[in-house]
Amino acid sequence: MSATDAMTLRRLLANAPKRWGHWGADDEIGALNYLTPDEVKRGLATVRDGRTFTLGVPIGSPEGDAVFPGRWPAKHFMVADKAGFENGHWHPLPGGLEFADDYVTGFAQAGTHCDALGHMWFDDTLWNGFPASSTNGGMTTAGIMPIAERGIVGRGVLLDIARFRGKPVLDRAETFSHHDLMDCARAQGVEILPRSILLIRTGWVGALAAGQQSVGNNYWEPGLTFSLDLVRWFDAMQVPCLVTDTLANETTYDPETGLMLVLHAALMRNLGIVFTEMAALDRLAADCAADRRYEGFYCASPTKVSKGTGGSTNPVFIK
């Protein structure tokens, strides 16, 4: 980031709310503190039929996984298979059992995943005032482990912005605001209650998987765009977790300033809102459109990566 960009970001966020110290000087889970036992029970109370929807995207797919620019897809290797036994590389276990084994390597921030609150920062300071130097060699503060140990459980609300706008998928760089979220909720007949986990569908991950969109050097996703009013709304609504079907949970570049991923600073770093990215929401959205029920019980926990910046997750939404 250039010095000019850094000054612009500081200016944008100068009057934005910040929740540092709100849950104590050592807090590493931020807005997940809003998900009290009562909120868990509120989520459970939305379940009527017991139908489940898993929201994770496949990784290591033969077609290639969509990943944010600068990363590369997960790689999947078979370590043991039937061919290995046939050529004598492996031998049956005593009693005759054979086995298959495999190995997967890739970015913690690839596939459907949660970001640690310390995943992104500016001015050498992470969430809650932790120093950026605490990331050296691994996340010793504000990493993914505290989030993984807590879990993300509560009332989920799906906001199908793409369908609300009459599209299968939003256009490149198309933006929307919290006002659009509220309008979408009213059109769907669902209430965005305080402390709801927000799931926002743009159709983007589905379009990437279908080859209708692609990731390149000029990649520019649709999504939420920064305003002070939007940040204040998220703070007032005590949103614990933001889940989207895009690679970065917000439009890639702020259309007014050209700054990149401003809401990672305003919502994640400053308010402690946990970001869950690359969720597969198309099947859930189709079901919600069919029965006109857009709320349910949301339950997820990222992989417990020691000192990790993030962790893969396969959230479950139950209606």
Nearest alpha-carbon partner for 279 in 106, 156, 31, 113: 113
Q: What percent of the chain has pLDDT over 90?
A: 92
Give the model's pLDDT for residue 7. Answer: 86
Convert the pLDDT of each residue in 279-297 to its tens digit. Answer: 999 999 999 999 999 999 9
b (16+ CB within 10 A) / e for 32-55: bbbbeeebbebbeebeeeeeebeb
Q: How far is CA 130 from CA 17, 133, 229, in A?
A: 17, 9, 26
| CA dihedral (18, 196, 261, 268) positive or negative | positive
pTM here is 0.96
Convert the pLDDT of each residue in 226-266 to its tens digit. Answer: 999 999 999 999 999 999 999 999 999 999 999 999 999 99
Mean pLDDT, the chain, rounded, equals 96
Structure tokens at 113: 């995943």
Q: How far apart are CA 207 and CA 47, in angstroms?
A: 29
Nearest alpha-carbon partner for 13 in 192, 227, 283, 191: 227
Give the model's pLDDT for residue 285. Answer: 98
Q: How far apart are CA 272 and CA 235, in angstroms?
A: 10
Structure tokens at 214: 């692609």
Q: Is residue 210 predicted with pLDDT exceeding 60?
A: yes
- Tokens 């889970």 locate to 29
First to last CA, the chain: 43
DSSP 66-111: ---TT----EEEEEE-HHHHHTTSS-PPTTS----EEEEE--TTSS
Give the model's pLDDT for residue 1. Answer: 57
Residue 16: pLDDT band (50, 70, 90) is very high
Give the model's pLDDT for residue 77. Answer: 94
Listed in sequence order, the residues at least 6 apart from 137 whose beta carbon sits closer than 8 Å to its beta carbon are 307
- Domain residue ranges of the chain, discontinuous segments joined by +: 3-61+108-318, 75-105
Listed in sequence order, the residues at least 6 apart from 3 whose beta carbon sits closer than 8 Å to its beta carbon are none
Residue 64: pLDDT band (50, 70, 90) is confident
Are 302 and 310 within 8 A, CB to CB? yes
- Amino acid letter, 44: L
Q: Is residue 201 predicted with pLDDT exceeding 90?
A: yes
Q: How far apart are CA 265 and CA 121, in angstroms?
A: 6
Topology of domain 3-61+108-318, per CATH?
Glucose Oxidase; domain 1 (3.50.30)
Listed in sequence order, the residues at least 6 apart from 242 whose beta carbon sits closer than 8 Å to its beta carbon are 198, 200, 234, 249, 267, 273, 274, 275, 276
Q: Is residue 3 predicted with pLDDT exceeding 60?
A: yes
